[in-house]
Amino acid sequence: MEPVAGPLLVATRSRHKLREIREILGTVPGMEIVDLVQVGIAESQEEDGLEEAETFSENALAKARYFQRRSGYLTVADDSGLVVDALGGRPGVRSRRFAPMPDAVDRDTQDRLNLAHLLTSLEGVPPEGRTARFVTEVALVTRDGSFRTFRGVVEGIILESPQGNGGFGYDPVFLHPPSGASFAQVPDEEKARVGHRGIAFRRLAGFLRGAAGHGAEEIHEE
């Protein structure tokens, strides 16, 4: 992999993700973080085909490569999803498109429809059968096309009804047992520490610090 130097493009259209990621990567000394709006990359229909692979890592890498080619920047992208044991691993890589969707719905509406569809799919399943995990795969692609990936996983249980007003996506129904609360109830600072996205992006941040000679951070999953 070529020497890693910024600016670093965070390739996501989600304002919620962008806020979480900026907070974590902002700890890397000297690393300038930019987003798609800042570099002038307008949303394109081509982006709809970037999450068609069967694994989180393949999807993350496809997105990172696409936006690296469009921007010319060192680029990072992620693919995240919820894996529910009682549903055979679904929604998995289809987490953002789990529920039947009308055309041209915004992200908040997608979240609401997906959440409702998940709860309907799990009706009648007892608590001991509602085990699940959030998974994030992060892909970093350099200007010469080389890449590295970083993974974060957190175990939990799907609640029978939403709890809490924070977070986004499936957070209101994902009980994180060590916290004793749903991810929508956990403070942002704690979620960044124990959550799947936080784990994966802190691993990336540790790699970037090490590449810059500042020493890497050891990350533990909870």
Section 39-44 average pLDDT: 88
Positions marked active-site: 79
Question: Looking at residue 150, what is its pLDDT?
Answer: 97
Let me know the angle formed at the C-alpha of 189 by 165 and 57, rounded to the nearest 5 degrees: 90
Section 88-98 average pLDDT: 93
Question: Looking at residue 45, what is its pLDDT?
Answer: 79
Model confidence band, residue 1 (pLDDT cutoffs 50, 70, 90): low
List the one residue out of 25, 83, 13 whose CA is nearest residue 55.
Answer: 83
Section 6-35 average pLDDT: 89
Section 62-71 average pLDDT: 95
Question: Looking at residue 96, what is its pLDDT?
Answer: 86
Helix and strand counts by DSSP (H, E) for the chain: 5, 7
Question: Looking at residue 3, what is its pLDDT?
Answer: 57
What are the distances in angstroms from CA 220 to CA 46, 93, 151, 165, 203? 36, 24, 11, 27, 9
Section 74-100 average pLDDT: 95
Query: pTM of the predicted model, to two decimals?
Result: 0.85
What domains can be seen in the chain, in order of their start residue? 8-211 (3.90.950.10)
Q: Give burial (CB, 10 Å; 0-12/13-18/19+) of 52.
A: exposed
